[in-house]
Amino acid sequence: MKTYGFRGRDFINAELDYTKEEWETLIEVTLDLKKRFLMGDNHAHLLLNKTLFMIFYNQSLRTRNAFETGMTQLGGHGNSLEPGKIYTPALEGEEEAYSTERISDVARVLSRMGHGISIRAYGDPVNWVYGKSNRVINEFAKFSDIPVINMECDKYHPTQALADLATIKEKFGQFKGVKFTMSWAYSSSPHKPRAVPQSLILAPCKMGMDVTFAHPKGFELDPAVIAQCKKWAEENGSQFNMTNSMEESFEDADVVYPKAWCPVNMLSFPEEGKVFDPEAAAKMMDANSSWICDEKKMKLANKNAYYMHCLPADRGMEVSNEVIDGPQSIVFDEAENRMHSIKAILALAMGSRM
């Protein structure tokens, strides 16, 4: 098993920056660590006495616990740093006296004390300025001497993508020929970043799955992401299709991933003079309340199709209870695999050779 120079490497825009072969290695390591964990194999030597600093600008259940528990299982320690309880890390020019600390200083201090930094930032902490939280995380990486890991920004959620790919590999044994649908689904809240849907069309396209992307008008994703998906589909000899019909996207699918994200008017684009409008965004969300994953829509997919979601799911809006709690749902397999996939990233980036 090759490791392709993972050690000391950032995991920020990994859907783009890591090769297909490197993703295959990450998936192999994820499933290997899971098997060893289930067999009671102690792998606490991999990150013995190492420290990961975890900075959460946003709330978290699965990501926080997967990182902290993962570090414990690998023999290290996950140290949670809450903005507001520490001096909030800020970009140059956005500091406030006795309230914030410049990111360049925070990164260099933590680099002297630990072995990795992981960051979650999107939405309200950056006023919904699209791309700003990705910039924040990359600013840490610029000044850090230790690897920086993206726990979700406004562009990508690479640790979620890895867990989802590992889950699909468990179920199908391969990626080629698997028909994967990423569809928008309804939520009453517009406070939903683009990170998961963008990662969950990029990563499946990179691995050669046949991907269908569905959304109502006004819920388009980053054009650069769409262009990259088309490029990889062409290179892999696979399919990347887009539709404005949820029903059409479910037809003959092997995996469906219905997930809410905000419309374009929820995002700020300062260079274009556009400021986010949450009230207008909420009206757009409500106008598409029929986009729910229910039993009727699941019957359009293949008989043995799987339902996936990163969680938390808005029950009764994104998905019905019958689907998420039904036999086709693998959402808790995904959640379990968050921990093992994160351990794979941590072990490869922060550890010695396995």
Q: Per residue of the chain (354 residues), give pLDDT as tens.
A: 444 589 999 999 999 999 999 999 999 999 999 999 999 988 899 999 999 999 999 999 999 999 999 999 999 999 999 999 999 999 999 999 999 999 999 999 999 999 999 999 999 999 999 999 999 999 999 999 999 999 999 999 999 999 999 999 999 999 999 999 999 999 999 999 999 999 999 999 999 999 999 999 999 999 999 999 999 999 999 999 999 999 999 999 999 999 999 999 999 998 888 899 999 999 999 999 999 999 999 999 999 999 999 999 999 999 999 999 999 999 999 999 999 999 999 999 999 643
Task: Write out the H or E segment, with its range, that includes residue 20.
Answer: helix 20-38
Q: Report the distance separating Cα 226 and Cα 245, nearest Å.
A: 17
Secondary structure (DSSP) of 275-340: ---HHHHHHHHHTTTT--B-HHHHTTS-TT-EE---S---BTTTB-HHHHTSTTB-HHHHHHHHHH
Count of CB atoms within 10 A of residue 270's CB?
Answer: 12
User: pLDDT at position 1, please?
Assistant: 40
Whether 260 and 187 have beta carbons less than 8 Å apart is answered as yes
User: pLDDT at position 352, please?
Assistant: 66
Domain map (residue ranges) of the chain: 14-155+338-350, 161-334
Q: How far is CA 170 from the centre of its chain?
A: 19
Amino acid identity of residue 99, one-letter, is S
Whether the domain at 14-155+338-350 and the domain at 161-334 fall into the same CATH topology:
yes
Q: How far is CA 128 from the centre of its chain?
A: 17
The CATH number of the domain covering residues in 14-155+338-350 = 3.40.50.1370
Q: Is the pTM of this model over 0.85?
A: yes
Q: Shortest CA distance to 162 belongs to which of 307, 350, 23, 319?
A: 23
User: pLDDT at position 104, please?
Assistant: 98
Sign, CA dihedral 194-196-199-204, equals negative
The CATH number of the domain covering residues in 161-334 = 3.40.50.1370
User: pLDDT at position 172, please?
Assistant: 98
User: pLDDT at position 4, please?
Assistant: 55
